[in-house]
């Protein structure tokens, strides 16, 4: 818990005396209610503090990973389906985190979120896309000719050209696929065009970041060292 006036100073809203005036003028709200008392203690992790209606975040850059379960769409809002935003714990709700790229509703595994717009654009920019590794179960069995076709760069049924990608055979009907781009339904379409339709897909790794033992549906924050590997 921290005093509201200290929180506002730490967020760079102004000096102590400016913050006093700002509070007096009723521009600050805590959880939707105007608060003028700077000595009031707040919990910056769970409470939302706004200045002129804009929520304040003192935490700077935050990156979290979710182990996404199937059944959730990667969107901030959706009329029909639950969204990945609903899986973020209360403490992260006011940080305005955005998903980095997307996973299909049926796909499970590693999904990053950040409140840092520059980092987000960097991670999804086609020029800088980090390698993403997926585990897939599929019908049929992949062979050396599929590995070669992936390495060459597949052309999908509709003419879409894919960058060279890596296919590793994990067992009969099981493969790992590593891609450096994020086209719509990319891994499913790549395997399908080789006659290997996907029955299960999970993202395991993005750059150096791996899911590790994070349980399905759970979230954890990336450390600064992990974040620096993405930069
Ligand atoms: N490729 C897909 O086909 N689906 C995903 O969710 C991610 C990559």
Contact yes or no for 94/137 (Cβ under 8 A)? no
2-55 is classed in which CATH architecture?
A: Roll (3.10)
Q: State the pLDDT at residue 199.
A: 98
CA dihedral 137, 141, 145, 149 (to 10 degrees): -20
Domain boundaries defined on the chain: 2-55, 63-126+210-230, 131-206
Common-topology check for domains 2-55 and 131-206: no
182 CA: nearest ligand 1 atom: 8
Structure tokens belonging to residue 172: 């009969």
Mutation test of ligand 1: which of 104, 136, 192 has the most ligand atoms closer than 8 Å to its C-beta?
104
CA dihedral 207, 209, 210, 214 (to 10 degrees): -150
Is 63-126+210-230 a domain of CATH 3.30.70.580?
Answer: yes
Between CA 142 and CA 165 the distance in angstroms is: 14
Say if strands 132-138 and 174-179 run parallel, antiparallel, or are unpaired.
Answer: antiparallel
Between CA 24 and CA 20 the distance in angstroms is: 6
194 phi and psi angles, rounded to 5 deg: -100, 15
Q: Taking the model in full, what pTM does it have? A: 0.83
Structure tokens belonging to residue 94: 């006011």
CATH placement of domain 131-206: 3.30.70.1560
What are the mean pLDDT values of the chain's consecutive 10-residue runs (231 residues total)?
89 88 95 95 88 84 96 95 94 85 97 92 82 97 98 95 97 96 94 98 96 96 92 82
**Known catalytic residue: 104?**
yes
Q: State the pLDDT at residue 90.
A: 81
Q: State the pLDDT at residue 55.
A: 84
The DSSP code sequence of 138-153 is ESS---HHHHHHHHH-
Q: State the pLDDT at residue 200.
A: 98
Q: Which protein residues touch ligand 1 with a CB less than 6 Å away?
A: 103-104, 107, 185-188, 201
**Residues 6+ positions from 167 with CB-CB distance below 8 Å:** 142, 146, 147, 150, 151, 175, 176, 177
Mutation test of ligand 1: which of 105, 175, 201, 204 has the most ligand atoms closer than 8 Å to its C-beta?
201
Question: 138 C-alpha to center of ligand 1: Å?
Answer: 13
Question: 202 C-alpha to center of ligand 1: Å?
Answer: 8
Question: 199 C-alpha to center of ligand 1: Å?
Answer: 12
Burial class (CB in 10 A: 0-12, 13-18, 19+), 206: buried
Q: Which residues of 162-180 are buried (b: 16+ CB within 10 A; e: fewer)?
A: beebebeeeeebebebbbe
């Amino acid at each position: 818990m921290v005093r509201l006036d200290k929180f506002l100073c730490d967020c760079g809203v102004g000096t102590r005396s400016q913050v006093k005036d700002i509070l007096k003028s009723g521009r600050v709200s805590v959880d939707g209610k105007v608060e003028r008392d700077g000595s009031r203690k707040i919990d910056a992790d769970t409470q939302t503090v706004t200045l002129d209606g804009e929520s304040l975040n003192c935490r700077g850059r935050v990156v979290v990973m979710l182990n996404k379960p199937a059944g959730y769409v990667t969107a901030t809002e959706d009329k029909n389906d639950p969204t990945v935003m609903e899986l973020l714990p209360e403490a992260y709700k006011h940080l305005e985190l955005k998903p980095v790229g997307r996973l299909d509703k049926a796909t499970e595994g590693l999904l990053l979120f950040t409140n840092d717009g520059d980092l987000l654009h960097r991670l999804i920019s086609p020029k800088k896309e980090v390698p993403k590794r997926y585990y897939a179960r599929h019908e049929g069995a992949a062979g050396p000719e599929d590995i070669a076709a992936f390495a060459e760069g597949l052309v999908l049924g509709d003419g879409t050209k894919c960058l060279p990608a890596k296919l590793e055979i994990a067992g009969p009907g099981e493969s790992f696929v590593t891609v450096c781009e994020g086209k719509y339904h990319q891994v499913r379409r790549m395997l399908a065009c080789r006659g290997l339709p996907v029955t299960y897909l999970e993202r395991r790794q993005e750059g150096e970041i791996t899911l590790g033992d994070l349980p399905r549906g759970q979230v954890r924050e990336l450390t600064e060292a992990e974040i620096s590997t993405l930069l």
